[in-house]
Amino acid sequence: MRILGIETTCDETAAAVVGVSFDGRGEILSSEVLSQIAEHAAYGGVVPEIAARAHVEVLDRLVARALRAAGCTMKDIDGIAVAAGPGLIGGVLVGLTTAKAIALVTRKPLMAVNHLEAHALTARLTDGIGFPYLLLLASGGHTQLVAVKGVGDYTRIGTTIDDAIGEAFDKVAKMLGLAYPGGPHVEREAAKGNPERFALPRPMLGRAEPNFSLSGLKTAVRIEAEKIAPLTQTDIADLCAGFQAAIVDVVVDRTRVALRQFRQIAEAPKALVVAGGVAANQAMRQALQRLAVETGLKLVAPPLALCGDNAAMIAWAGLERMRLGLIDDIDAPARARWPLDTSGQAVGVKA
């Protein structure tokens, strides 16, 4: 089985082909990603209209490139998987409309994939782990702790009540004059800094419910920066180090609480999984690895190339759904909002 995947929910245009190897494990046959960072850098964030137009300009060529890299043609493809949300609705519509056109012309099945589900299932593509497991999904737009019990079977245990982790990284970076996207730049500066120089808060630490709140931490960084302005390079490095250390402490504490609550929802988790763009942060990976050892679990973190938005994870989620007979109609809507847990309500726009 070979699935073509398409991803256009934010500022990466991506296409990939994923199949199943002889031993039954997932196999990435090709993965093409074109970033739009250069187009958005001057604005300090993603401009939805610019993103949508950029997807239109390159998606057809990127799909063709992914097929060539996989050594196949559309005749060899068994289904089309596309991220139908959540995301910037203009970009989502570009990918979904393209996927529908391909599916109609080739008469292949269409799988309209939840972008968050694709992140949730990446660990099964890379490591072949079984259900259930606890997922920490951390990106620029989402921060959730989720019990992953099966394909399409998710229970959200905790979430952020304000900023997502990646969003907080980006805002602190902008505050300190660092380039966009902020996460890698904050991590790089933090490696040079003293995490103990500034007494920054650890919001929600010790709370019984595994939720996050990061706006207060972000404000604390701003207050400390204003106290010592103008900032030197040492000041910036120390602020980044303190901020990152606070984030890591909060993440470990919130994840530990979620692990305790997991057993009330499902059987004991088989693994602790971290996914999303923030999963690339090495300090966070190391801290979660220590937590996994402490709790007797395996930590599964995707390769760095699969942390950010990519089409390989979309293709894999489509493959998992297709194997279960979960095929979508051609009128599947584009969704600006699409909660991962099954109790959530989705907001859709027909493509």
What pTM, to 2 d.p., does this model score? Answer: 0.94
211 annotated among ligand-binding-site residues: no
Please say whether the dihedral angle defined by the alpha carbons of residues 331, 16, 170 and 201, taken in this order, is positive or negative. positive
281 annotated among ligand-binding-site residues: yes
Catalogue all structural domains in the chain, each as residue range(s) with its CATH number: 2-122+305-324 (3.30.420.40), 132-304 (3.30.420.40)
167 annotated among ligand-binding-site residues: no
Rounded CA gap, 319 and 214, in Å? 36
Tens-digit pLDDT profile for residues 284-331: 999 999 999 999 999 999 999 999 999 999 999 999 999 999 999 999
- Segment 49-53 shows an average pLDDT of 94
140 annotated among ligand-binding-site residues: yes
- Segment 65-72 shows an average pLDDT of 98
pLDDT at 79: 98
170 annotated among ligand-binding-site residues: yes
Position 345 pLDDT exceeds 70: no
Among 109-123, 157-171, 279-293, 331-345, the minimum mean pLDDT is found in 331-345
Tens-digit pLDDT profile for residues 244-279: 999 999 999 999 999 999 988 888 999 999 999 999
- Segment 47-71 shows an average pLDDT of 96
55 annotated among ligand-binding-site residues: no
30 annotated among ligand-binding-site residues: no
- Segment 166-180 shows an average pLDDT of 95
Tens-digit pLDDT profile for residues 22-39: 887 899 999 999 999 888
